[in-house]
Amino acid sequence: MSNKMNHNMNNTEQVKRSLKKRHRQERRFILLGKLSVMTGFLFLAFLLADISIKAWPAFQQSWIQLDVTFDAQNLGVEAPADEAALKKGNYRGVLKQSLYAMFPEVSARRDKKALFKLISSGAEYQIRDTLLAAPEMLGTTQQTWVLADDDVDSFLKEEKMRELQQDDRRIKDNQVAWLDQLSEQGRIESKWNWAFLTSGDSREPEQAGIAGALRGTMLTILVVLAMSFPLGLAAAVYLEEFAPQNRWTDLIEINVNNLAAVPSIVFGLLGLAVFISFFGVPRSAPLVGGMVLTLMTLPTIIIASRASLKSVPPSIRDAALALGASKVQTVFQHVVPLAMPGILTGTIIGMAQALGETAPLLMIGMVAFIVDIPQGITDSATVLPVQIYLWADSPERAFMAKTSAAIIVLLLFLVTMNLLAVVLRKRFERKW
Amino acid sequence: MTQVAEAPDIHQTIKETVGSPFTHKPKLSTRNVDVFYDDKQAIFDVSLDIGNHEVIALIGPSGCGKSTYLRCLNRMNDTIPSCSVTGEFRLDEEDIYAKEMDPVLLRARIGMVFQKPNPFPKSIYDNVAYGPKLHGLAGNRAELDEIVVSSLQKAGLYEEVKDRLNASGTGLSGGQQQRLCIARTIAVSPEVILMDEPASALDPIATATIEELIDELRQNYTIVIVTHSMQQAARVSQRTAYFHLGKLVEVGDTNQVFTNPQHQLTENYITGRFG
Ligand SMILES: Nc1ncnc2c1ncn2[C@@H]1O[C@H](COP(=O)(O)OP(=O)(O)OP(=O)(O)O)[C@@H](O)[C@H]1O
Ligand SMILES: [Mg+2]
């Protein structure tokens, strides 16, 4: 009896001793977990901060105010001119004359050229549009804001450029002097760059905008959603609920899993060969891009949907069947609605993957330089990640900021989609 | 352990079902039923009649095939690909496994209540209304309301939930959920109700409620109930069938089976020496 008591005492001691060790283990693990989360969070914060700082200049744009004289002779039109004639006018000449008039001391050819370089090459279209909007300005002088050249823009945004040697910067000393003169007259202003969000791509950084790529991405994602969700859902429901369990379905399952691991560029090559070369779908368009990305996202959606369908308790199927529901009724009235949160999550994950995909789209020509904003799914277009890739590759300094700004737009797009996923999931989720 | 040792012997001793498996004008009749899961036989040559408006209890040790046999009656085994069923099944002289017999219609006539309460994650109302809607039993909303209320009343649940018919069915207690499942089954107006251990997940009070309910339901329905509780079998059933290792060992009036079993195996089980 006492022996047994002793034994019990020992046991308790033993447990107590090991307990200390177990608690230590637990604390260590929790600390490790916290550290991991912190590391991830730090990286993310660093990335976001870095991108935001870099992107900021892209949302600001320098403008220069000119006294533009819409002289009929310089334009090369007859005094009361109609719209067609006005459109053809020599606005470049008008701009030049206006600039020379503002800086009469500049006379050498080289200097004149340098002076004209201060403003964007798109300025002539800006003043053309100004005149077209108000033709009565013909023959008058107007104070007009035009875009500054991207080199000027970069120079104005970065204080320390001034301290560099003349040879080390793209804006030379005489140009700096002119800019200072303009600045003193209040003729230089930094404005919020709406054009970045409303215009398409351009060779000139100061005119380049994200709207084309954004629209291209939206159209492409819509195509992906419209194709991959019904296809993926149907395939998953069939495989999970209706297909007989045999060697063929095993084979299909293995292949679906394999497809999910195929590098995306392969899908691009496949799309090029099948959709474009064989079926003649227009290249560079959101339609074919969406089709290629559908191939890529289908396995993800199918796998996620199947897992989600599998997790619906069999008792729910039994309940419906035992009440006399047919197989199809059971599946679509009970199983699929219950699996919907998981299916939607899988779909959104697939969409997010597709959203960030570049490689397969390069294969099908969505990397082309496209200025026009696409209006439909068969227009030539590019998408955000490809736009980022293109800009990141451009030598002009101003494109660096644009690249970061485009990344921010892409991230915002992603966040919006994920929020949508959460909202949808909440709506479909039911308490057990 | 004893079970394993005795197994070969037992197959010898169960040559034929003892007692009275057959009745006059049965509601359900089954003959020479064999069930296989792949190559493994789960039911061996079972023949049994189930009378109109009677409660018959299926008892026996775990794994003896009670659930398997029960699920043959409303063809729920059709949903298990590996399961194959042979033998003769008749519901009022109609062949249950005939080509013309639609399992959907059959299950509207033979309802089932499961061991674990499995209400749909929908409102109480929708749970009960689902079956009638499915089969178009109600012409309009008022009729549907009527069916829902009367089914809940018959299942003895109405008083407890009448203020919250739109609350989720899964938010009820276990016993209430099981009565909800019974109400859901009744709402389709089946002729037979199969119950697979309907009270095994419930506490004694909830169990008692369900047992009373079964007794009342007998007025209108034929009930086949699988149970592990011998007291329950004794309380609710008129006839009892004892299964052992896939064979039907003994069938008889519940009183007689429990007080004077004919077969040694039945006696062992009932006296607790077995299973
Ligand atoms: N889906 C299945 N696949 C393969 N074998 C099965 C399946 N369902 C049941 N079995 C087997 O069939 C035999 C009878 O099972 P069944 O579920 O009918 O027993 P039971 O009498 O209901 O047992 P319990 O009282 O534990 O519920 C068991 O040996 C079991 O392992
Ligand atoms: Mg069972």
Average pLDDT over residues B91-112: 92
Sequence-ordered list of residues with C-beta below 8 angstroms from that of A391, at least 6 positions apart, any chain: A208, A399, A402, A403, A406
Average pLDDT over residues B141-166: 93
Note whether A270 and A343 are same-domain residues: yes
Average pLDDT over residues B26-32: 93
- B184 neighbourhood in chain A, CB within 8 Å: 319, 323
At residue A199, φ and ψ (nearest 5 deg) are: -115, 165
Banded pLDDT at A430 (limits 50, 70, 90)? low
CB contact under 8 A, B114 and A431: no
**A330-372 pLDDT, tens digit each:** 999 999 999 998 898 899 889 988 988 888 998 888 888 888 8
With 60 as the cut, is the pLDDT of residue B90 above it?
Answer: yes
Is the separation of the CB atoms in A101 and A115 below 8 Å?
A: no
Note whether A253 and A294 are same-domain residues: yes
With 90 as the cut, is the pLDDT of residue A396 above it?
Answer: no
Note whether A295 and A266 are same-domain residues: yes
B184 contacts chain A (CB < 8 A): yes
Looking at every residue in chain B, the average pLDDT score rounds to 89
User: Is A371 among the domain residues?
Assistant: yes
Nearest chain A Cα to B183, which residue?
A323
Portion of chain B with pLDDT greater than 70, in percent? 93
User: Is A38 among the domain residues?
Assistant: no
Residue in A248, A359, A243, A342 with CA at minimum distance from that of residue A293: A359
Note whether A187 and A153 are same-domain residues: yes
Note whether A330 and A388 are same-domain residues: yes
Which residue in A249, A323, A328 has the most chain B C-beta atoms within 10 A of its own C-beta, making it the best mutation to test that interface?
A323
Note whether A80 and A138 are same-domain residues: yes
Is the separation of the CB atoms in A216 and A390 below 8 Å?
A: no
Q: Where among A141, A165, A192 does a domain terminate?
A: A192
CB contact under 8 A, B170 and A325: no
User: Is A54 among the domain residues?
Assistant: no
With 60 as the cut, is the pLDDT of residue A387 above it?
Answer: yes
CB contact under 8 A, A324 and B134: yes
Which residues are paired to B131 by β-bridges? Answer: none
Note whether A338 and A427 are same-domain residues: yes
Gyration radius of chain B's alpha carbons:
19
The total domain count for chain A is: 2
The per-residue pLDDT for B164 is: 93
What's the rounded Cα separation, in Å, for the pair B251 and B46? 11
**A315-331 pLDDT, tens digit each:** 999 999 999 999 999 99
Exposure b/e, A294-320, CB count within 10 A at least 16 = b: bbbbbbbbbbbbbebbeebeeebbbbb
The per-residue pLDDT for B16 is: 78
CB contact under 8 A, A329 and B130: no
B41 contacts chain A (CB < 8 A): no
Note whether A149 and A244 are same-domain residues: no
Q: For atom 18 of ligand 1, which residue has the closest CA?
A: B65
The per-residue pLDDT for A213 is: 92
Average pLDDT over residues B13-30: 83
Average pLDDT over residues B66-86: 93
Residue with tokens 């964007």, as numbered in its chain:
A120
Mutate to test the pocket of ligand 1, among B34, B37, B78 (most ligand atoms within 8 A of CB): B37
- Cβ of residue B82 lying under 6 Å from some atom of ligand 1: yes
The per-residue pLDDT for B3 is: 44
Is the separation of the CB atoms in A89 and A124 below 8 Å?
A: no
Higher pLDDT, A36 or A139: A36
Banded pLDDT at B205 (limits 50, 70, 90)? confident
Q: Which domain holds residue A228?
A: 211-431
Sheet containing A141-147: order of strands: A141-147, A60-69, A188-192
Average pLDDT over residues B253-268: 92
Q: How many CB atoms lie within 10 A of CB A140?
A: 12
- Cβ of residue B36 lying under 6 Å from some atom of ligand 1: no
- Cβ of residue B37 lying under 6 Å from some atom of ligand 1: yes
User: Is A204 among the domain residues?
Assistant: no
Average pLDDT over residues A128-136: 89
CA of A432 to the centre of ligand 2 (A): 24
User: Is A306 among the domain residues?
Assistant: yes
Note whether A161 and A222 are same-domain residues: no
The per-residue pLDDT for A5 is: 56
With 90 as the cut, is the pLDDT of residue B65 above it?
Answer: yes
Which residues are paired to A181 by β-bridges? Answer: none
Note whether A323 and A266 are same-domain residues: yes
Residue in A352, A391, A398, A362 with CA at minimum distance from that of residue A212: A391
What's the rounded Cα separation, in Å, for the pair B242 and B251? 6
User: Is A215 among the domain residues?
Assistant: yes
Note whether A306 and A418 are same-domain residues: yes
Of the candidate ranges A13-22, A259-268, A341-350, the one whose mean pLDDT is the lowest: A13-22
CB contact under 8 A, A334 and B134: no
**A286-298 pLDDT, tens digit each:** 999 999 999 999 9
Residue in A310, A388, A376, A283 with CA at minimum distance from that of residue A55: A388
What's the rounded Cα separation, in Å, for the pair A68 and A71? 9
Mutate to test the pocket of ligand 1, among B34, B39, B44, B66 (most ligand atoms within 8 A of CB): B66
The token pair at A349 is: 């994950």
Nearest chain A Cα to B82, which residue?
A245
Sequence-ordered list of residues with C-beta below 8 angstroms from that of B25, at least 6 positions apart, any chain: B51, B52
Higher pLDDT, A70 or B201: A70
What's the rounded Cα separation, in Å, for the pair A149 and A118? 5
Banded pLDDT at B160 (limits 50, 70, 90)? very high
Portion of chain B with pLDDT greater than 90, in percent? 70
Average pLDDT over residues A146-172: 86
Average pLDDT over residues A155-163: 85
Question: Which atom of ligand 1 approaches the CA of B35 most closely?
Answer: 12
Q: Where among A192, A220, A254 does a domain terminate?
A: A192
Banded pLDDT at B71 (limits 50, 70, 90)? very high
The ligand whose atoms approach the alpha carbon of B58 most closely is 1
- Cβ of residue B140 lying under 6 Å from some atom of ligand 1: no
**Ordered domains of chain B (ranges, CATH):** 8-118+191-270 (3.40.50.300)
Banded pLDDT at A236 (limits 50, 70, 90)? very high
Residue with tokens 């063809």, as numbered in its chain:
B75
Kindly report the pTM of this predicted structure.
0.81
Helix (H) or strand (E) holding B141: helix B141-154
Note whether A414 and A281 are same-domain residues: yes
**SS3 call for B51:** strand
Mutate to test the pocket of ligand 1, among B44, B62, B64, B84 (most ligand atoms within 8 A of CB): B64
Q: Return the amino acid letter for A110.
A: R
> Quick one: three-class SS letters along chain A?
CHHHHHHHHHHHHHHHHHHHHHHHHHHHHHHHHHHHHHHHHHHHHHHHHHHHHHHHHHHEEEEEEEEEECCHHHHCCCCCCCHHHHHCCCHHHHHHHHHHHHCCCCCCHHHHHHHHCCECCCHHHHHHHHHHHCHHHCCCEEEEEEEECHHHHHHHHCHHHHHCCHHHCCCCHHHHHHHHHHHHCCCEEEEECCHHHHCCCCCCHHHCCCHHHHHHHHHHHHHHHHHHHHHHHHHHHHHHHHCCCCHHHHHHHHHHHHHHHCCHHHHHHHHHHHHHHHCCCCCCCHHHHHHHHHHHHHHHHHHHHHHHHHCCCHHHHHHHHHCCCCHHHHHHHHHHHHHHHHHHHHHHHHHHHHHCCCHHHHHCCCCCCCCCCCCCCCCCCCCHHHHHHHHHCCCCCHHHHHHHHHHHHHHHHHHHHHHHHHHHHHHHCCCC
Inter-CA distances, A110 with A116, A267, A320, B89, Å:
10, 53, 86, 105
User: Is A271 among the domain residues?
Assistant: yes
Q: How far is A314 from chain B (nearest CA, A)?
A: 10
User: Is A73 among the domain residues?
Assistant: yes
Q: Where among A132, A161, A192 does a domain terminate?
A: A192
The per-residue pLDDT for B25 is: 87
Which letter does DSSP use for residue B169 in this model? Answer: G
CB contact under 8 A, A318 and B76: yes
Helix (H) or strand (E) holding B264: helix B264-270
Banded pLDDT at B11 (limits 50, 70, 90)? low
Handedness of CA B37, B41, B45, B47 (dihedral sign): negative
What's the rounded Cα separation, in Å, for the pair A33 and B109? 57
CB contact under 8 A, A315 and B118: yes
Burial of A59 (0-12, 13-18, 19+ CB in 10 A): middle
| CATH number assigned to the domain comprising residue A421 | 1.10.3720.10
Residue in B13, B21, B28 with CA at minimum distance from that of residue B257: B21
**A76-94 pLDDT, tens digit each:** 888 777 888 888 888 999 8
The per-residue pLDDT for B12 is: 57
Looking at every residue in chain A, the average pLDDT score rounds to 89
Average pLDDT over residues B116-123: 93
Banded pLDDT at A426 (limits 50, 70, 90)? confident
